[in-house]
Structure 1
Amino acid sequence: MEKDVITTSTSMVSLPELFSQTTFAVLDCIHAAKAVIAQTKNFERFSNFMEKITLILKELSKSNANDSESLRNGLAILNVEVKVVKQLADECGTRNKVYLLINCRKILKQLENSTKEISQALKFIPLASLDDLRTINKVTRLCKDLVEAEYSPCTGETTILEKIESGLRERNVDRCFVNDLFVLIAERIGIPSEHLAMKKELEELKADIRGSKPRISMTEARRMEQIIELLEMGDVMASSEEKAKRYQLERDSLGTQPFLALQSFYCPITMDIMVDPVEISSGRTFERSAIERWFADGNKVCPSTSIQLDSLVLQPNKTLRQTIEEWKYRNKMITIVSIKPKLKPNDGQEVLQSLSELQDLCTERELHREWVTFEGYIPILIGLLRVKNGEIRTQALAILCLLAGDSHENRERIAKEDYALESIVKSVARQIKESKLAIELLLQLSRSSALRDAIGSIQGCIFLVVTMLSSDDAQASRASRELLDNLSFLDQTVIEMAKANFFKPLLHLLSWGPDNVRLLMAKTLSEIEFTDHHKLSLVKDGGALGPLLQLLSHDNLGMKTVAVKALKNLSSLPQNGLQMIKEGALGPLFDILYRHSLSSPSLREQVAVVIMHLAKSTNAPASDDEQISLLESDEDIFKLFSLISFTGPDIQRNILEAFCAMCQSSSGPDIRAKLRQLPAVQVLVQLCEINNQTVRVRTSAVKLFYCLTVDGDDISFQDHVGQRCIQTLLKIINSSTDEEEISAAMGIISNLPNTIQITQWLLDSGALDTIFSFITDGNRNTSNKKLGIEDAARALRRFTVSTNKEWQRKVAEAGFIQVLVQLLVSGTSLTKHYAAISLKQFSESSASMSQPLKKTRAFICCFAASETGCQVHQGICTVESSFCILEANAVDPLVRTLEDGDLGAREASLDALLTLIDNERLQSGCKVLDKVNAIPPIIKLLSSTSNNLQEKALGALERIFRLPEMKQRYATLAQMPIVDITQRGSSGMKSMAAKVLAQLNVLGEQSSYF
């Protein structure tokens, strides 16, 4: 039947077209086979076969082979089979990697079958009709190769498959077995062998299997389910926290004494506890190795009963084996717990014995090491590194090495303990056995990239490790070299210098050598990528700064240049920058910057970078203690800022960055005030507006402009900020890709003077659309974006003032009210503060904007339901027409914000809610507040640390408690906080509190107690 279908389909096309179709299918298959990520070598071998077939097809199409049914059938079968392989290759490119690994034998079997079918297809070609002997030989040889082709998994895959089969066959429930299996799988498929990556891969495997069930047999589906059950026994599905919790539950369920072994655990032959119990035909159980020896000696009877055995078959006693394993499991856990109290440094012998026992347990199984970690041994072991007894320190290091080798988390646990790294480094300088283990432990820790800086920065660490390179112990020497290599943050030149103890002679030559040598030494300091530790050592302890500052005044331009480059290299560390300022580096640097005749443009650019570094160092915490500032006088500020107008973009940008840093330092307010007295704002506005200005200069100008607006007065900006400047800032927000620049531009807009003219310019320039797009853009979620949203919410306040309902209408129609409500839910505390202010300003207008209900004539009322109005405003309210916060569903978020940790957000939200009970809306507004459970949070505000918030809450409650039903419901809750105010509040608040207590019938109306 199949042959008939093929014949019918091929008879409809010409032979050249059939050749073309088949060749295209083969090429398509080759492309798919080369793209697979699983079984690449096997598919590559198949591709090689297919490439030979394309050559044969090409030669056949040119040879004018006779058109025959046999040839057509061969080409048709080839066409079908290569499409089957292409589909298989496509699946290998899309399916889960673990699934492909587990099923690799099945995949390769399918590939092998298709290869043999293709061989059969080639045999349909009528070779006798061909004239070209070479083509006949190629086809014949290829057919033979295809028939003999075999595809097999690699050694690593075979190991994994055998381990899986072993786990399924033996029902091995040992988590270590499965964890080891996971490590092999992770290495094979090329993913990290860590919890999250493996968990994700396992979840994808489960999803893949679920999707495959309709297409596979029940037997195969059950096998895959068993594999999943096996893999889920490992730790990959549990995080470290979950495993620790599970351990704690198991530990708490056990007692403090080990469980005694049952008699059935002992082998009757050896009298030892069995490891592999097997049952013989008499029904008795023995240790496998013991009973095998018994039978090997020619015995045919049961060792226990002397009964003649009818069979020598051994049946594994899996139930007993699992029971023994469980007994060992529980006792090992109890033992690990019981060792902990014995590790006291005051009894050396007992501590040594306990550590030896603990080390044996850790060596025995990975699971035991996990328990040791969860039991909190790491801090104890670190503490033992500081005892005098060297044997104790050595054994503690040995156990820590075992724990550090298990996981990245353990390495971090070790490193974060107080003085852990310092103690380990000290052990490097001790006896060889202890030193070797200390180096090994540091090597283990250095495999976590996050710890490398910390290791390298320990005083004397590099020196001690370098000394171990020449150790007589080959293992210690090899570990030391690997440790230095792992500290990849060190430039190789620095490592070599450290190995040769080269820093001291380098600095000596820099100070006292001839000029050509000093030039070379300074060049070395300028080009090497030092670690922060080395940079600090060179300046603080090495004395590199003095000689470099001397070179700044050298007549030779090349000497100046390398000195500046070295200072640039060292000044990137804030501590060094502060030291340079204190040692007078600014004088010679400014001389080079200001005196064009003494320098080149490139040198002045390097100097500008150093000055920028020094300016940033004034923001370091140490600068606050010493009150260090970069520029002291108005003249210094003027001279440096004036360079912005007369230099190239690189110098401009670095000077702008320097002023940004100074504006944010402890002397920032003075710097900002002095800059505003200069034409700084005018210069910055021009830099922002010039179209051909480089983006990096513009970014720095915008950031400095923002700094000057933070605490400036309106007069500083009104003369220079016009509609063109506003349009430029909005354009930056809309088009820039720099988050800092966008955030700064939004900050400037929020800080602009709150005048009618500027607000109108903003509206005319499309500021509302820009702000709306900025806030609602979900693609940005950085810290700068959050700051920008805070500024955007702050800027919105100017458009929502209740004195200008036309502005309010434009904001409402742009959809901002719902955005403000969302900001109340998901914004920062400051964003919530500003959003609540805008909503309060909107709500202040709602009463006058609400449309009165239409009066309905009596006879119509009989036939139509009456129109209901807003619960508070008693008219027709919508978000866009009356700005009603009830219609905007803002009341619930405002109530939740009352309990926000930020006092400003609480106060603004309270102000917004209180607009609902203004004047005649008291009763209807209180009903709404009561319905959303807003009154208890208002009562809680009576205990706030803010006097202003307390006073507002008290005033609100005075109005609320005018209503008898409110008083009856909340009097008990409010009474004690109000009494507390009468004791501790200000005089004005005491009087108000007394009045409210009188409302609650706690005091008489005429009481003068307070």
Structure 2
Amino acid sequence: MGSNAPTSTILSELISTTLETIDAAKSVYLQKENFNKLSSYLEKTASILQQLPISNSNDPGTIKTAINTLTKHVSEAKSLSLECTTRNKIYLLLNAKKIVTLLEKNTKDLASALNQFAFLTASGAGGQEIIKLSNVMFDTKYQTTPTEDGIIEKIEIGIRERSVDRSYANNLLISIADAIGVSIEQSVLRTEYEEFKSEMEKMETASADVTESLQIEQIVGLLGKADIIATVEEREKKYFSKRNSLGRQPLEPLQSFYCPITCDVMEDPVETPTGHSFERRAIEKWLVEENGLCPVTKTPLKSSALRTNKTLRQSIEEWRDRNTMIVIGSMKSRICSDEEDEVIISLGKLQALILERDLHQEWVMMEDYLPVFVSLLATKKFRVRSHVLVILRILATNHDDRKESIAKTENAIKLIVSSLARKIEESKLALELLTELSDNDLARTMIGNSQGCILLLVTILGGDDPQAVNEAKQLLDNLSFVNQNIVQMAKANYFGPLLHLLTSGSESVQRLMIETLSELEMTDHGKLMVCENGTIELLVTMLSHNDIDMKKAAILALEKLSGVPQNGLKMIKQNATEILLGILFRETLSIPSLVEKIVATVMNLALSLTSQEADQGEILFLQSEEDVFKLFSLISLNGPNIQQNVLRTFLAVCQSPSGLNIRKTLRKISSVQVLVQLCEHENQTVRSNSVKLFCALTKDGDDEAFMEHVGPKCVDTLLKIINNSDSVEEGVAAMQIISNLPRSPKMTQWILEAGALHVIICILSNHLHKPEIMIDSASGALCRFTISSNQELQKKVAETRIIPVIVNLLYSGSSLTKKNIAVSLGQFSESSNGLSRPIKRKPNFLTCCLVSPDMGCMVHSGICTTESSFCLVEVNAINPLVKVLDEPDFGACEAALDALLTLVNGEQLQKGSKVLEDGGAIAKMVKLLSSPCVGLQEKALVALERIFRSPEYKQKYKASAQMPLVEITQRGTSGMKSVAAKILAHLNVLHEQSSFF
């Protein structure tokens, strides 16, 4: 922008540049925290600039100078930010310290430039704000991360030590990939490295600094040693190119490779100031023992003067690599020799080499030794097979691709599995190798499908070698994660041998098998198979064993197996619950670690009572009041894990067929008091289960128990749960508690004062956005506020204008919601007759003649409104209630019928019948005479007996009602027969005094 441009224009350009710089800084991936700090300073700067009162200044030249200076430094920040979003990520990581230095300089420059604006602001406060920001920016420090520092340090060490170890470079490059957020997949990492290399080469070409060029070359060379950026084909090509150029015979070491002290080839050569080289450990020991004199020159020599001879060390390493390549390449023929001793010696040498370096293992793989090793597993020579198993395990360890290569080698898995059946020593080696291989998906599948493998593993499980048993367990665990292998286990009759060992083995073997059951990963189908042939009976018997370890193993196994309901029910029938509780209450001091396991098992048994399989009949569980008390008391003595399991136990039992007795017992032992406290527990799971159990206990009434322990604070807590809980089920349970609590005036007042009515109204008013079960529970809770005995409370509900809302729910709600709404509407309607206001008429002829008959309610004859008399006709509830009479749910149907019948109570019979007829209710009531629900039949029958006293309805429904009524007279209850006969008499089908029925 030119110097003649208006001040406002260049200020606008500065603000625009600042905003662009903020966006650029926020886009930087590496050093995100540093650039976020810069962007926050720039945001504050932009805010100050936008409020800068430049028009009041008397020195526009000074303003422009300040703006131009700040623009220059903001542009520098923008350039740095853009560079850090576009440059290669490896480059940015390695230059982290340089970037931090530039950030600090740029921020200080920005602070100095910003400080010039302090005098331009009109108010003193604005100037102070600029100075404060400027001071903070000037003092700010940016930092590299520990990860960045660590990587830079490793690079410096690698360059300094001239490391040629590819694993060092591999690990370094993996660390870099993790730091810059890229995948370690070969193609991705290679692309990133090539971009970095290209960028570095350009910098090296452009740099006039010899030291910088050398450093760039060293960094590129160090990272280039990582073979993870090369494909397998590239590594093989490089290897064979080098190996084929070496000749066939190893070279003797040069004289300079030998240490003058040890006379052995050096591994870590160090150089003295006089130019002589020694093995580091040897010369350091020499100087301690020989008073600090050089072995060659006999002159004084200090350890601090020794320096690593990097050139010599690299030469020795290259010589070793050359000879190792030749040895590995030429050893195959000797390994295939017919002479066992020669084969053993060659395998021993090869084993030593692959243990020496991971690089040697890769060379062995490149030389295609796997088919040779596998062929040796078919030999009859035990020592050869054992050596091969060890070598294969070394090659497989920590290398998934090699595991897959071994598995793919023809007959490899089959022959390794065969070794499981041989001598103990060889079997253990094969087991270790198979366990290592089973970490690979392909190998795991092939092992599991290998004929006889599972049975051989079961045999090993029955052995006395703890290490082999643990290996077999581990391998079985790995195999169990593949579905096909579970099937294969079943086909191989895996559980048969295991159960045989359980029932017929020695005690030590039995304990081992039980431990195996508790630790193995099994599907539910597998758990059922285990428990088919006496296993549960055996395990329950073991609970009474004197040996603590046997008892512990049985508990662990029962916990694992009890997760399947069928097994849990079998355990209950074998008296497992009482035995476990006996151990829990009388023996836990000797085995405290098992409390959680026992409680978890008892919980599983309780959960089985709520399964479909338990519907066959009532199963006794927790019959002793003492056991109920002791088990519930664990809630107050233990942590969240046990607490939630005890709560789930009682919740399951309360929901079982025998739940009524348990609920009574729990209320009797003052459990409500504990549950009220747990409703405020900080652990969400414990709190949720407490609320659900509390809810279960409120279903049976028992006002005394709840009035004693539930107060305003508890009600407040329940409402907080309804409003704030992330668990819908917990909120629903809390709402159901509100609904079920005693309907005493005192309790209702507490609930009202806590704001429960408002919460219920909000839920029902927003029913389209609430879960169905919450609408069900809220509609149920509403019923306690609509009882006809408390018309003041009814008016409070009506004043919320909720009645039209709940009438609409009769169309869209669930069956339970429709039932609850019908109950509330029925309770409202019970009050309507007394609340309908009479129509006032002046006693003169003219007024009487002018009064319209439509002014009064069709049923109550007075003036009805939704808020004042809650009339069903006024709120248009007749048609939706009649529609509910078609519901398959008898509860909803009966509640709707009860509500409609409030219109024909007492003197309202004639007018109410007319409204019901117009709404189609009477025809539906006739249909209900054939309902399979006796309660509905009876209510419809009693109502129709009164309605049919009117000739109009008697004549209209005579034909349709006759057959259902005759059916009732033949098959109904005695009371219903009498009423049906009376109606038939009304219909002139039967004389009232007939004794036919």
TM-score, length of structure 1 as denominator length: 0.48
TM-score, length of structure 2 as denominator length: 0.49
